Each structure stands twice: as C-alpha cells, then as structure tokens.
Structure 1
Amino acid sequence: MHLLIAAAGSGRRMGADKNKLLLNLAGRAVLAWTLDAAFGAESIHWIGVVGQNKDKESIMDLVVNTSKPIQWIEGGETRQESVKRGLAALPADATQVLIHDGARCMVDPAFFDKCSEEMFSGQAVIAATPITDTIKQVDSHGLIETTLDRSVLWAAQTPQGFVVEDLKRAHIEAEIRGWSVTDDASLYERLGWPVKVLESSPSNIKVTTPFDLSVAEALLEIR
C-alpha cells in the first residue's frame, strides 16, 4: 500500500510561528509520532510526505535510517492541491493509496492495515467516529434551526483510502467544476461514488490547538 501524508500544516490556531507538525510532543515532533505509526503498519511499503519547501529539511530529518522508502513532495496552497500533487508523484505501480493527515499523530498502525485490507476489493474507505454530542444546526444569527439526528452522524477522520486512478479522476472533475473540499471523500460524495466508513478510535485526534496537544501527550502517557 502507498501512503500520502499531508504535512503542510501551519501554526496559526496553535499560536505557533512554525508548522504545528514540528512542535514538541512528549520530546519529539508531532509528525514523528505519525511517521512511527506508518512505519509500524505492515501493509504500507512506500510513504510520500507532502509539505511546504520551507519545512523540507526539518521534516526529512525525522525520517533518516528508515526501513521504508520516503519521498518528499512539494505541496500546494491548499490541502486539495497538495493531495493532487501527491497523487501525481506516486510510483507508476501504485494502484491504491491511503491519505492521512500528519496532525493525526495518535493513529494506530493496525488501523492503517485494517484500511488496506478493506481496500483490496477496490472499495474506497474513510476513518470516522460516531457523533456522541447533540448536534444543533444554527443560522447566520446564531439561532438554532433544528437538532440533527446524531444516530446517522459521523465525524470524518483520516486515513482515507482510494483507487489511485479514481481519485485522480475525482480531482480532475473538482478542478473542472471549481469544487473546493477539505477531504477527498467529499469529492466522491459529490460524484455519487460510494465510500465505506470504518469506525476508528476516538483517540485518533487531530492536533490543531494547544488543548489537542495536551490531550495527545496525555494519551501517549497511558499507551
């Protein structure tokens, strides 16, 4: 299985002056923990790290002496553009790809393998967790319009897995139609293509704020 890691994060919401993936988490960079999970997944045999050139040296310093081939890929101005560039940089023999946010540093290596297994039949997959909160739909004035049925609501995560040629086609369609999305499964949704939800652990958090960083450190302490 080929894996693309989206690593072009910023430190804006973290209040940091650098890529949040390079911030310290329990003595190591956030991204180092993500990479550890990728290295530990038996099904993954190639990893592409998609990021900004200003971070290239710092990120590639995290992947010296690894057992799996790592390729640096220059990202774009948006996540969507970065993934598209990542797809273009895949080896010619890549038929399926997992895409994972570098900020989801608590992912379990076995979950990468679970996604890979589900994809053998050509099925697109997405990690997600069931919503447990009561969700309100609110108008532009901050007033509640309705309460959504949480029994059918899931919080989307990564990894997400796809047939390479299908995902490339989806990105081409997005460019033609002017679609802007925040994850690749959304492209499939707009095209009416099926995506299977795989329930992942609630610990598969995305480190975005200082609070998230504290949660991740606490989770590492009890591993």
Structure 2
Amino acid sequence: MHLLIAAAGSGRRMGGDRNKLLLPLRERPVLAWTLEAALKAETVGWIGIVGQEIDRAAIEALITEAQPLAPAKPIHWIEGGSTRQQSVLRGLAGLPEEASHVLIHDGARCLAESALFDRCAQVVLEGEAVIAATPVTDTIKRVDDQGCITATPDRSELWAAQTPQAFAVDQLRQGHAEALRLGWEVTDDASLYERLGWDVKVLDAGPANIKVTTPFDLIVAEAVLSFREA
C-alpha cells in the first residue's frame, strides 16, 4: 500500500513562524510522530511526504532519522503546491507506476495509530473508498452571515471527516482531473467523490485522531501520548 502524507501546511493558526508539523511535541517534531505510526503500519510499504521547499531540509532530516524503523520501506520527498488539493495532485503524480491504491493522511494528525492505517487499507483493498471519521457529539447549528441560527442538522447523521482516506489511484486521479476541468476547490479528497456521486465509506477512528492546529491541540496531543505510554 502506498501512502501520501500531506505536510505542506503553515503555522498561521498555531501562531508560529514555521510549519506547525515541525513544532516540538514531547521533544520531537509533530511530523515525526505521524511518520513513526505510518512506518509501523503493516500494510504501508511506500511513503511520499508532500511538503513545501522551504521545509525540505528539515523534513528530509526527519526521514533520515525515521528510516531505521523500517529500512525496507522507502520514504520519498515530493514538492507540494499552494493548496492541499494541488499538493495531493502532485503527490499522485509522484507515486510509482505500480501504485493501484493510496492512503492520504494529514501530517498534523500525529495521533493516528498504525492500526488505523491498516484498517483503512483493508477496506480500500476490498474495493471501497473509505475515510477515517468520528461521529459528531456536539449539537451543530447552521448560522447565517448575521450570526443567527437557521437550522439544526440531525446529529445522528453527522460525522467529522478525518484522515487517513483511501482510494483507488486511477479513480482518484480521475476525480482530480474533473476538479481541474470544472474549477472545483475542495478541502479533502472525499469531497471530490461526493460531488461526483461516488460512494465513500466512513470508518470510526475513535476520539483521539485529532488534527494539531492550535496550541491547545498540542497540549491535548501530549496528554494522549503520555496516556498511551503509561
């Protein structure tokens, strides 16, 4: 199974001056935790890290440090684009010719466990596109531009989309080609499938698969890692 890790973000919402994936989490960069889990996944045999050129030296240093965890699994640098959508498209172009299925994972979801990669891989190898997700527990309100509530969706039908997301490579490339042709902009690959009327399954990732976006998320992530090691 081939895996693309999206690592071309920034530190704007984190309030930092650099890519948030390079910020320390328990004395290691956030991305190091993501990469370690991916390397330990039994189904993952090839990894591409899609990042910005400004971060290349730092990310390649992480690759060198992590590679001994799984020497037989190649890890490649791929230069990303200005948006996540463009970065995934470049990642798809960087896959080996033999790649038939791909996992796509946000590097900021550094608490994803290796078993989650394997569970998603199993579903896609059985012929279905799939995303990790978690049921919404809050009551969600739809609000207009005046800040007034307009609707309350049925919570039982709502899931928070996460990663990994897993797809057949040819179909995902087709979806991205349609997005380019029609001028669509999406924030995750499952949205392409949704717009095209293609089925995508959800797989419950559990409560810990958070995305590190703010300083508070770093505190939560540290607590989760400490709990796992206890």
- TM-score of the aligned structures, taking structure 2 as reference length: 0.96
Is residue 154 of structure 1 aligned with residue 159 of structure 2?
A: yes
Query: Would you say 1:209 and 2:209 are equivalent positions?
Result: no
Select 2:148's aligned residue among 140, 143, 148: 143
Partner of 2:112: 107
Counterpart code for 1:29 = P
| Match for residue 174 of structure 1 among 167, 174, 179 | 179
Q: Tell me the percent identity.
A: 65
Deviating above 4 A after TM superposition, structure 1's stretches of 4 or more consecutive aligned residues are none
- Equivalent in the alignment of 2:202: 197
**Cα distance per residue 1:165-189 (max 9 Å; x no partner):** 0000000000000000000000000
Q: How far apart are 1:205 and its partner, in Å? A: 0.3
Q: Unaligned regions of 5+ residues in structure 1, if any?
A: none
Which segments of 5 or more consecutive residues in structure 2 lack a partner in the other structure?
A: none
Q: CA deviation at 1:121?
A: 2.2
Deviations 1:97-146 (A, max 9, x none): 00000000000100100111111122100000000000111111000111
Partner-residue secondary structure (3-state), 1:37: helix
Over the aligned positions, Cα root-mean-square deviation in angstroms equals 0.6
Quick one: distance in 2 between partners of 1:102 and 1:201? Answer: 18
Q: Distance in 2 between matches of 1:51 and 1:63?
A: 12
The match for 1:188 is 193
Q: Which amino acid aligns with 1:10?
A: S
Letter in 2 for 1:107: A
* Corresponding residue number in structure 1 for 2:54: 54
Q: Tell me which residue corresponds to 1:10.
A: 10
Distance (Å, rounded) in 2 between the aligned partners of 1:201 and 1:101: 16
Query: Secondary structure of 1:140's match?
Result: coil
Q: State which of 86, 95, 103 in structure 1 corresponds to 2:100.
A: 95
What number of residue pairs does the alignment pair up? 223
CA displacement at 1:201 relative to structure 2: 1.4
